[in-house]
Structure 1
Amino acid sequence: MSQTSTRPEADIKFAYWVPNVSGGLVVSKIEQRTHWGIEYNTRLAQTAEQAGFDYALSQIRFTAGYGAEYQHESVSFSQALLHATSKLKVLAAILPGPWHPAVVAKQLSTIDHLTNGRIAINVVSGWFRGEFHAIGEPWLDHDERYRRSEEFIRALRGIWTTDKFSFHGDFYRFHDYTLQPKPLSQPHPEIFQGGSSRAARDMAARVSDWYFTNGNTPDKLKAQIDDIQAKAAQNGRYVKIGVNAFVIARDTEEEAKAVLAEIIAKADPEAVNAFGDAVKQAGQASPEREGNWATSTFEDLVQYNDGFRTNLIGTPQQIAERIVALKAIGVDLVLCGFLHFIEEVEYFGRKVLPLVRELEAQRALVAA
């Protein structure tokens, strides 16, 4: 467990969604020059690494739906991308229930050794009940899913850092279990999680290294972040924050807004509404009805994780300024989605990221 309750000073980091699931990152019939296959994703990972991205996040899906007819498995796909790169860190998405923490701990420890410490994990508590039913897995109530995820993470931490690890929870049990070799990453591979509900935030404050939240306005993001960090500080911890954003960077603001308008105009209503029914059921199932997607509009749902709300849509200068403003409210990482991944990741690295670093340097001088 992290022993600091203060935010470390560092440049804001960047991740991108790995399109290992078909259909792209918007539920729209607009052209998306992207592909879910390994050849495209290998080129994308290499482009992102060269552009200055720090992380890539693979997706976890078991069944087709909402425009995603094909899905590559997250852990094996992540390993392939790691072997095609040299610096990029890849987050493998894992779903407690189908996976057991002992299997994941061993799997990721091996990959950590094979890639010199570049694997991380994103623990997904589950939002798609139909998917669980399709593969014969029990569908737990909202807060129970997060309770299981917390046990899952506690088990991972214990296995990765302790010999003769014992744990007696409601979902997982271990008896004097020792994993060898343990990961190269110290104290262990980074652990990410997502969610917006009370249960998700409290879990992050207790056990996670990173917390992903859906896209939102700066004011609403700051309220979430302040809440999490206050809870984390009570445990002597600091949780790093990642926010989802769909990036539309163009030479002019008019061009960027026109792309957004076309995405929404060509949205697939049947797929968006079906996705909305599934995720809002999950989001509103939390006791306080504040889970992910609980308040999402149709336009928000055209991008899976409310990425339009973060408003990284405009010129490189506008987007860079908004990113630095996100950093000022406590965001440590921006998780980016794009319409045409390879060319837009390259453009982002060439046009946006240098401006972000210039603005960060200017603000550091002022603060000094």
Structure 2
Amino acid sequence: MTTTASAIKFAYWVPNVSGGLVVSNIEQRTDWSYDYNVRLAQAAERSGFEYALTQIRFTAGYGAENQHESVSFSHALLAKTEKLKVIAAILPGPWKPVLAAKQLATIDYLTQGRIAINVVSGWFRGEFDAIGEPWPEHDQRYVRSEEFIRTLKGIWTTDNYSFDGKYYQFQNYTLKPKPLQKPYIEVFQGGSSRAARDMAARVSDWYFTNGNSVEEIKKQVDDVRSKAKLANRQVKIGVNAFIIARDTEEEAKAVLNDIIAQANVEAVNAFGDATREAGAAAPEREGNWAKSTFDDLVQYNDGFKTNLIGTPQQIAERIVALKNVGVDLVLSGFLHFIEEVEYFGEKVLPLVRQLEQQQEHHLAAKSA
């Protein structure tokens, strides 16, 4: 039997932002309301999802007219579930480490250790300008995020904590109570630039990358893992994927074609312009979406590229292929969230576990 430790894990994007997970006018039986999200969280928990990831947005744009705040929304979902761990997205800048550390420690205490954090370094300058927050240049945003993570971990594990950084300073600060999770609350982080991968290798527990082919994902996994090894650390890898599981491959591909055919062209192009500006700010002149086409950008974390689109068997095989290049978690988006999460749990996940088990037996037989 596949062990819990070795089994690939599944998370879903929490639709706490309106507009769903595709920038398209296609019907989405998904809602950003609290009631819908509670039903979704409970369905995901029953269906075998271990994590949920809330989104952080401060301003409208790209089809997202309304946004619930991520940390309070995460706590509200945790109050209505029993096993699910919710990853709250936080932006250094609007949040200060001391507030985040205390806020998250309290939620961890209240939810028996089920909160996690996704540190978002920021790519959308317009949002920072709108709320009057400074916008450091690309690599400096990762310097700030690294200090943010280091100080969180320090506050969560040390009494009389002191830190003298460029962005944050602490002097003999003691937080009590500290989180229930030991040694500290799990820290996730995204990005595809060199600075993002380097930071993940040094300080993050999990590295999220945009969707891509197995070959391209392997390159990122190998880079992050080799850098982490030099720092005597281990980093787990999560990959974004938009999942379209249907009884036939033709049905699944038809859904994908309909999503793209009904794309909100103005919103997709505006998103593309913002991502190109963000990518051009990186020293290597290449960001998360550098090689994304218009069709890719309809799903704003390149989820179509991961190609988890087809029958349950096809998707299960592709998930195991991702696991085989080092992926530990699939971060999933869906068109009609509740019903498709339940379909995934019923039709796809058992096949994944079966394939994992077959693979383990095969490896055990070879080594015997």
For normalisation by structure 2, the TM-score amounts to: 0.97
Question: Residue 140 of structure 1: CA displacement?
Answer: 1.1
1:279 to 275, 278, 285: 275
Tell me the equivalent position of 1:229.
225
Counterpart for residue 325 of structure 2: 329
Find the aligned partners of 1:265 and 1:195 in 2 and give their Cα distance: 28
Q: Choose the corresponding residue for 1:306, options 302, 307, 310.
A: 302
Between the aligned partners of 2:260 and 2:339, the Cα distance in structure 1 is 21
How far is 1:9 from its partner? Answer: 5.3
Name the structure 2 match of 1:96.
Answer: 92
Instruction: Quote the residue 1:122 is aligned against.
Output: 118
1:134 paired residue number: 130
Mapped to 2, the partners of 1:106 and 1:307 lie a distance apart of: 33
Per the alignment, residue 3 of structure 1 pairs with none
Instruction: State the distance in 2 between where 1:360 and 1:51 align.
Output: 18
Instruction: Give matches, 1:44-193, under 5 Å.
Output: 44-193=40-189
Q: 1:281: Cα distance to partner?
A: 1.2
Correspondence for 1:29 among 25, 30, 33: 25
| Mapping of residues 325-364 of structure 1, within 5 Å | 325-364=321-360
Identical positions, percent: 75
Please give the root-mean-square deviation of Cα atoms over the aligned residues, in Å: 0.8
Deviations 1:123-178, CA, capped at 9 Å, x for gaps: 00001100000000011111010110000000000000000100000000000000
Q: Which residue of 2 aligns with 1:242?
A: 238
Report deviation, 1:364: 0.5
**Counterpart residue type for residue 14 of structure 1:** F
Q: Which residue number corresponds to residue 258 of structure 1?
A: 254
Deviation at 1:195, TM superposition (A): 0.1
For the residues of structure 1 that align with 2:286 and 2:204, how far apart are their CA atoms?
20
Distance of 2:89 and 2:59 partners within structure 1:
15
Distance in 2, Cα, partners of 1:309 & 1:284: 22
Aligned match of 1:5: none
Q: Following the alignment from structure 2 to structure 1, what is the Cα–Cα distance between the partners of residues 358 and 204?
A: 31
| Structure 1 segments unaligned to the other structure (5+ residues) | 1-7
Give the counterpart of 1:43 among 39, 44, 47.
39
Measure, in 1, the Cα distance between the counterparts of 2:136 and 2:233: 29
Counterpart in the other structure of 1:209: 205
CA displacement at 1:290 relative to structure 2: 2.8
Shift of 1:182: 0.4
Q: Following the alignment from structure 2 to structure 1, what is the Cα–Cα distance between the partners of residues 269 and 141? A: 24
After TM superposition, where is structure 1 displaced by more than 4 Å over at least 4 residues in a row?
none
What amino acid is the match of 2:12?
Y
Aligned residues: 361
What letter is aligned with 1:10? Answer: S
Kindly provide the CA deviation profile for residues 184-229 of structure 1, in whole angstroms up to 9, marking residues without a partner as x: 0010110000000000000000000000000000111000110110
